[in-house]
Structure 1
Amino acid sequence: MDNDGQLELYTAVAAQLKEAHARVRALQVPEGVRMALTRKLLVITAAAKHDLAAATRRLERFTADLDEGRIPEEEA
C-alpha cells in the first residue's frame, strides 16, 4: 500500500476510535463496565500500531457489539 493510502487508513481508524471512545463515555452503565470497555478500546488502539487490518476488524466487532447492545456485565 502506498504511503497516502496508509495514512488515509490510519486517519479513518483514528476517527473511528475517537467516536467509539465518545460512545463509551456516553453510556449509562456502571463505572466498572465503562472501564472494561475503555480497556478494550486501548488494546485495539495499541494493536493498530502493529497490525492495522486486525485492529480495524476488532474495532468493527466492538462497534457492532455496542450497536446491538452487547455490553459486558459488571464483575462483582
Structure 2
Amino acid sequence: MDMNDPQDVGAAFWAQILGFTVSEEPPPPDSALGRVRAFAAEHGEDALRDEHFEAAMEGRPLLRDGTVRTGAPKRVARVAA
C-alpha cells in the first residue's frame, strides 16, 4: 500500500472506519479468504463462482463443480395454480 497515493489512503481510511484491517500479508489458511485463495490456486480463478464465496463465509466445503453442500435439503412449497 502506497500511503502517497490518495486512493490507497482513502481505502485504508474507509477500511478502518468500517472495522476492517488492511494487510499485505496473506490471510490465515483457515479463514474464508484463505480457503478461497487456496481453492483458486488449486483449480484456477476461472473456477470460482459466487457460491464458493458464500460457502467459504459459511464454513462449508468448496467444491470444484460449483455445487454447494448444505445441511438438510430445503423444502419447496408447491402452490396450486
TM-score, normalised with respect to structure 1: 0.31
Structure with greater helix share of residues: 1
TM-score, normalised with respect to structure 2: 0.30
